[in-house]
């Protein structure tokens, strides 16, 4: 995943993302697992922005609106517009 990125840049990003940790502590990091967690965090942040907007407490930025619309598209593909699984398969999620 990070093979084409210079190691110094990856190290800087890791130090910024995990303040207080040393590079030695972060050397064995599972990047696949980290990437999945960061993706989930992005989805949750977009949904939090949407909820605050619906409550009239926040105006999402254009980038946040893009993330909200991406989430909507992914949910539509998975569950359909009516919010129900199109396959009736409990293993879908």
Find the helix packing angle between 62-79 and 31-54, rounded to 10°.
100
What distances in angstroms separate CA 86 from CA 73, 75, 81, one per listed residue? 15, 12, 10
The domain spans of the chain are: 42-93
Entry pTM: 0.65
* pLDDT tens per residue across span 63-84: 999 999 998 888 777 776 655 5
Whole-angstrom Cα distance, residue 26 to residue 2? 14
* pLDDT tens per residue across span 2-60: 568 898 998 999 999 999 999 999 998 898 999 999 988 998 999 999 999 999 999 99
């Amino acid at each position: 995943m990070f093979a084409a990125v210079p190691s110094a840049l990856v190290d800087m990003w890791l130090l910024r993302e995990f303040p207080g940790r040393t590079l030695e502590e972060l050397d064995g990091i599972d990047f696949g697992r980290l990437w999945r967690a960061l993706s989930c965090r992005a989805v949750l942040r977009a949904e939090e922005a949407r909820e605050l907007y619906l409550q009239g407490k926040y105006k999402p930025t254009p980038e946040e609106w893009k993330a909200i619309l991406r989430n909507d598209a992914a949910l539509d593909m998975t569950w359909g517009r009516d919010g129900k699984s199109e396959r009736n398969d409990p293993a879908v999620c």
